[in-house]
Each structure stands twice: as structure tokens, then as C-alpha cells.
Amino acid sequence: MSANISANRIHHKVNHVSLVVDKSGSMQRHEAQLIRVVDEFVKGLQEESDRLGHETRISLYAFDHEVHNLVWDMDVKHLPSLKGLYAVENGATALIEAAVKSVDDLKHVWEGYGEHSFLQVVVTDGEENASGCSEHGRMHARMKKAEGKAVLHGWMDRIRRELADLPEHWTSAILVPNSLAKRTAQEYGFPAGNIAIWDADSSGGVEEAIDTVKTAATSFLRGREKGVRGTRTLFTTGQDLSADAVEASLEALAADSYALVPVDRQAALREFVTGSGHPYKTGCSYYELTKRERIQATKRLAVAEKDPVTGELTGRVFSGPAARDLLGLPAAEAAVKPGDNPAYTVFVQSTSVNRKLLPGTRLLVML
């Protein structure tokens, strides 16, 4: 007689991350900085994967005028420091070719079981000048003008198609050195919310890049817990907030428990609150998140509803302990950049009496 045996399967989340790093000659002065940025990104993936119980696998590519795979789909827990793997060469920059190869290779990962998600992050300090160089034997600038232009345009068309055709559970992001490179990355097809600028020439810029990638690692994996398998807002905060998520996770504050005050002059926070006719208590005020900020772990957050047509606040405000997690922030201090959300504006608690308020913003005051 045969017995009926039921097998219980473990349904687990599997993240495949591909890091694509520039090793061209211009990176010589940034080698140590890039290693720090990448190592911190990997550390963020390791810590958050452990916390959430995800399986995260990582691939590593390095490129100059050629593209080399250094690590393939390894458990992120076992990846050593980039210092032992990465070395700058005196080559050109096949940026597009490297990004395309990374995507093409990951497409070979079998997704038959488990819930898979894919994240590509490219890090560069320069612009494309050598995709196809290994095939043609010459950089674009050393080809005949028409030939070089044709080769470059061919690769640009290719990356646009690749990124446009990615399934919804794929995310492609890039760190670039300046605003011009950011515009170029958008032309290639990288979503604006998945492009971050890093200033490798200053210590402050490197620290900012580290904050950016660690927050991105955390928000990406936390998004997976909410069922988000791909994102176009990896480096921004609040851009993908939805009404369903806000109303399900946060508490709508009573209308008589707060005031939304337009900031019409530059002033210190306490002075402005009392000057507006409200009593001041430490922590009672929340400033509008309009630029990159460092948000400490103890700071509370709130979101105010906007009219999606006019952009004006409706007067409804939501807050609660889940706000930080809803916005994809870690439990530790994090650097965040506000996204452009047509339905909500994020407010951050301030405990500094001397914080300088920006005219044209709003201040949320708890009464």
C-alpha cells in the first residue's frame, strides 16, 4: 500500500546582483575610493540579506576597453574585498559594452524555482569611448569619423533596447561623476531615479556615495519584502509611494493635531515656529524633504498628501512607526535623496532649534 506524501517547499527570495566597475586609466586616482564604495555596498547586501533571510548572489565585472568577469553568481556572504580582485589598467572606457554584457550574462540564470530578482549597478568616473574596441581593434576616436560615430551609435541603440526590454523584476542603475554624465546615462536608458552622482575627488563625495549605495542595498531588499521585484527609484526616497501602501501602513493624523505652515522667509526653526504663533517643543516640527539629507535613526517621518493635478497639499498627513520601513530606510542613519512623487511629500522630524528653513517649502508642526 502506498502512502500519500505531501512535500512542503520552501519559497525563498533570490537576488542576483551584478556589479560592473570601471578600471580604465582615469580611475587610477580613484582606485581606493571605488574599493571602499563597492565594499560598503556589498556589506549592506550581506547585512540586510542576513536580516531578511534572502539568498543574494553577486557577479563582478571590471572593464576598460575590454570587459572581464571576475566573479560569477557567488553567495554574497563569501565575496572578499574588491581590493584583492580589482586593479586599474591604462585602458579606455567600454561602458556600454560592459553594461550590456552584464545583462546578457544574467539572462542565462535559470528562474524555474524561487522568486528571483535582478539588480545591475554600474560604477564609472567617465564616459563611453571604447565599446566594440576589442572587436575593431581601435577606440572610437582613432577610427575614421563616420566609422567611429556608427560604432558608438550602434552600441547606444543596443543598450537602449536592452534596458527598455528588461522585465519588471530587473533593475539597472549607475553611479556617474557629474550632471553631464547623468544626462548621458538617461539617454542610454537608465531611469533617472536609478542614476546617482558620486564625486570621487573629495572625501565628502566618497562618503556620500557610500551612504547612497548602502541605502540603496537596504531599500532594494526591503522592497522585495513588500513584493517589489524591480524599481526605477533605487537612489531616491518616496518616489514610488502609493495610496494603498500609505493608507495600509500609516495612521491618518487628526486634522486638529498639526499645522502645515508655508515657509515664507529664511529663519531658524524655533524662531519660525514661535513667530508663526505656535508653541515650540523639541521634535514638534518636521521639515519638507527637498534635497539630499542625512536622516538619523531616531528621526520620525511623515507624508503629506498632494493633489496630483495641482501639486498642492490636500491637508491630509500620515505618520507612524512603519513610515521609515515604508520609505525603504534602514534602522541606522542614512543619506537620502527625495524622489518626485505626484501624490505625496515626505517630512522629516527635526530636533535642532537652529535648523535653517528654506523659503518656498512647508513646515509640519505637531500641535
**pLDDT, tens only, 40-92:** 999 999 999 999 999 999 999 999 999 999 999 999 999 999 998 999 988 88
Q: pLDDT grade, residue 96 (50/70/90)?
A: very high
Higher pLDDT, 87 or 146: 87
Residues 6+ apart with CB under 8 A from 253: 302, 317, 318, 319
- Residue 136: pLDDT over 80: no
Evaluate if residue 97 carries a pLDDT over 80.
Answer: yes
The class that CATH gives domain 13-225 is alpha beta
Confidence of residue 239 (pLDDT cuts 50, 70, 90): confident
- Structure confidence at residue 1 (pLDDT): 45
* Residue 142 confidence (pLDDT) above 70: no
* Domain residue limits, the chain: 13-225, 243-366
The strand order across the sheet containing 301-306 reads 251-252, 313-319, 301-306, 344-350, 285-288, 362-366, 258-262
Give the pLDDT score at 7: 62
Lowest pLDDT segment from 74-88, 152-166, 203-217: 203-217
Confidence of residue 356 (pLDDT cuts 50, 70, 90): very high
Confidence of residue 148 (pLDDT cuts 50, 70, 90): low
Number of other CB atoms surrounding residue 41 within 10 Å: 24
HSE of 130 in the Cβ direction (CA atoms, 13 Å)?
Answer: 22
Pick the residue with more confidence: 161 or 207?
161
CB 344 within 8 A of CB 305: yes
Give per-residue pLDDT as tens, 242-282. 899 899 999 999 999 999 999 999 999 999 999 999 999 99
pTM, entire model: 0.81
Answer with the residue of higher pLDDT: 75 or 342: 75
**CA distance to 52, 243, 296, 323, 328, per residue, from 318 (Å):** 26, 11, 20, 9, 16
The confidence score (pLDDT) of residue 342 equals 87
Closest CA to 62 of 93, 20, 121: 20
